Amino acid sequence: MKKISVIGAGTMGNGIAHTFAQSGFTVSLVDVSQANINRGLATIGKNLDRMIAREKISEADKESTLGNIKTFTSLTDGIKEADLVVEAATENVELKLKIFGELDAHAPADCILATNTSSISITQIAAVTQRPDKVIGMHFMNPVPIMKLVEIIRGYSTSDEVTETIMTLSRKLGKTPTEVNDYPGFVANRILMPMINEAIETLYNGVAGVAEIDTVMKLGMAHPMGPLQLADFIGLDVCLSILNVMYDGFKNPKYAPCPLLVNMVMAGKKGVKSGEGFYDYSESRKAEKISKAFQ
């Protein structure tokens, strides 16, 4: 397995492409938008520069990594020689089903199809293909080049051979693969998202403010980042989508998203990506912080 195609050049997609390319794999980065591809490549370049600054890699390593990445705006062209495709599109069921139908139609017959979904059923995704035994979940954590965990999720029909291949491949990337079963949210988000949702409920009920809630969790529970700040980092729209998947899958009210989260997403306040969520990430706020630093 040497040729990897990554579908989607966003935060997760470019991180996955970076990780495979740095490990010596030939990577095809596919996105419908050339602008998205350009931003993805720029992000990979910046992240490699940070690694050079920390003396983790050399300039030659950077050039080699970038040289291992080719880009495509045509899905058909980008996957035609792939040994493995990793889909990293938006966390939307209909979109993923559409993509996997196209992947199945155009990828080589022996190609493994993986999805980076953090909550959607692998069995449901596999059902739109003619190769359900070769469909598997490969849930990387953000930021992909740094985080060691990869959740490996078997669908109902995923073969033992494919599972072992992906477990071994993950180790070659320097990751720690952990096999979990195919239930909504898997393990990571089944535990994380209710915690984030409860933190939002705590704010919604007026128990404490944003900074106070995050401070309690950071200093009291030794979390490196408070749940509300983490929600901003993940994207409030993504958190809402994952909670909806779990609520629909389990029909259990404990997974129902807090009304405050729903309203914030509807208002366009999605966290870091939109410039505002539970915290303000706008340019004006950054300028204010810089100004205060020199006073």
Catalytically annotated residue among 47, 189, 197, 244: 189
Q: Which helix (H) or strand (E) holds 269?
A: none
| 208 carries a ligand binding annotation | no
49 has binding-site annotation = no
96 assigned binding-site residue: yes
Alpha carbons within 13 angstroms on the beta-carbon side of residue 103 total 33
Contact 121, 184 (CB under 8 A): yes
Whether 55 is catalytic is no
106 classed as catalytic: no
First to last CA, the chain: 57
Burial class, 143, CB count within 10 angstroms (exposed 0-12 / middle 13-18 / buried 19+): middle
Does the annotation flag 46 for ligand binding?
Answer: no
Does 179 participate in catalysis according to the annotation?
no
Angle at 53 between CA 48 and CA 58, to 5 degrees: 60
83 has binding-site annotation: no
Q: Is residue 164 marked as binding?
A: no
Choose, from 151, 197, 244, 276, the residue flagged as catalytic.
Answer: 151
Which is the catalytic residue, given 14, 119, 139, 244?
Answer: 139
User: For this structure, is 14 an active site residue?
Assistant: no
Instruction: Tell how strand 149-154 and strand 135-140 pair up.
Output: antiparallel
Report the alpha-carbon distance of residue 18 to residue 27 in Å, rounded.
9
235 is in an annotated binding site: no
Q: Report the run of H or E that residue 108 belongs to, with start and end.
A: none
Q: Is 206 annotated as a binding residue?
A: no
Question: Which backbone phi and psi does 110 adopt, to 5 degrees?
Answer: -95, 5
Contact 6, 89 (CB under 8 A): no
CB neighbours of 148 closer than 8 A, spacing ≥ 6? 141, 174, 175, 176
**117 SS3 class:** coil
**Catalytic residue ranges:** 118, 139, 151, 189
Q: Return binding residues for NAD(+).
A: 8-13, 31, 91, 96, 118, 142, 273
